[in-house]
């Protein structure tokens, strides 16, 4: 039992009893942490709005037997431009939900924290149609599910790649398409996915909304849902951020 410091981003919250709250945080050094905030729902609470979803906070925790207790919280960033724009807020809630689903409790994953923070900062600076799909693709890649994009996952052929197989996590050629859980993939969408995962993320994020971005978005969402084995709630509607 003891105290520890970390920084984190609030992913979601629940009520606990009359005045307390449970928060899920993606922390820098302790993975996903589920902690209790005491008295947060009282009007005089010293925590105020600091422990609501989509706040980056610096924290002091007291280690509990089951759940840790937040004893101090200071805001690092509120991501105001995201909160004030419904379109960006919906995207942020998709990022938070995917992170919440993918992160393991108390399993340090500094890269995931940095990715989430980077995604939210990018969204604060600029609304990008490709932000959520790019985040999903990078997230899957970082977690060890880097898709095979240069050759057919079925036969190794490098030409005529026309679909993406969710189960195998790679592209398929014409001859191999239609098997398993595959979705069609246009050359432009394949090119965009290669840019997202191949080092031109910033350039790719500048792509305006359109059919290619929409196609990549559908594919990235299906790939993420396939991996999580569940549907994402916060897509495509906003509103999942209404914390207690």
Stretch that binds Zn ion, among 9-17, 18-26, 80-88, 175-183 (CB under 5 A): 175-183
x-or-dash pattern for Zn ion, window 138-157, by CB under 5 A? Answer: --------------x-xx-x
DSSP conformation letters of 223-243: HHHHHHTS--TTSS---TT--
Task: Provide the minimum distance between the beta carbon of 189 and Zn ion in the complex, in angstroms, as a whole number.
Answer: 18
Residue 66 token pair = 């089951």
User: Which of 75, 131, 93, 109 has its CA nearest to residue 11?
Assistant: 93
Whole-angstrom Cα distance, residue 17 to residue 173? 56
Please, which residue, 155 or 209, has the CB nearer to Zn ion? 155
Using the contact rule CB under 5 A, the part of the chain among 2-10, 114-122, 171-179, 228-236 near Zn ion is 171-179
173 counts as binding Zn ion under rule CB under 5 A: yes
Contacts with Zn ion by CB under 5 A: the residue count is 6
Bond from prior residue into 236 cis (ω within 30 degrees of 0): yes
Residue numbers 184-223 binding Zn ion by CB under 5 A: none
Residue 212 Cβ vs Zn ion, minimum distance, rounded to whole Å: 23
The radius of gyration of the chain's CA atoms, rounded to the nearest angstrom, is: 20
* Lookup result for tokens 């999942």: 240
Query: With respect to Zn ion, which residue has the nearer C-beta, 39 or 187?
Result: 187
Rounded to whole angstroms, the Cα distance separating 79 from 71 reads 23
Instruction: Kindly list the residues in this chain that would bind Zn ion in the complex (CB under 5 A).
Output: 152, 154-155, 157, 173, 176
């Amino acid at each position: 039992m003891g105290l520890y410091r970390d920084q984190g981003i609030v992913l979601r919250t629940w009520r606990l009893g009359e005045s307390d709250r449970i928060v899920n945080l993606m922390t820098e050094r302790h993975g996903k942490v589920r902690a209790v905030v005491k008295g947060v729902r009282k009007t005089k609470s010293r925590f105020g709005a600091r422990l609501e979803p989509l706040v980056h906070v610096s924290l002091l925790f007291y280690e509990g037997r089951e759940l840790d207790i937040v004893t101090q919280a200071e805001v690092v960033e509120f991501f105001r431009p995201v909160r004030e724009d419904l379109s960006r807020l919906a995207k942020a809630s998709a990022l938070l939900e995917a992170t919440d689903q993918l992160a393991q409790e108390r399993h340090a994953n500094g890269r995931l924290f940095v990715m989430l923070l980077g995604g939210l900062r990018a969204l604060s600076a600029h609304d990008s149609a490709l932000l959520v799909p790019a985040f999903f693709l990078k997230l899957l890649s970082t977690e060890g599910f880097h898709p095979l994009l240069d050759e057919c996952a079925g036969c190794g052929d490098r030409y005529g790649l026309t679909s993406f197989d969710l189960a195998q996590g790679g592209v398929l050629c014409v001859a191999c398409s239609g098997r398993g859980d595959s979705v069609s993939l246009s050359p432009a969408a394949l090119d965009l996915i290669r840019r997202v995962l191949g080092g031109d993320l910033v350039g790719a994020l500048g792509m305006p909304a359109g059919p290619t971005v929409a196609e990549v978005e559908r594919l990235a969402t299906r790939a993420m849902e396939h991996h999580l084995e569940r549907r994402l709630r916060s897509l495509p509607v906003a509103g999942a951020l209404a914390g207690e």
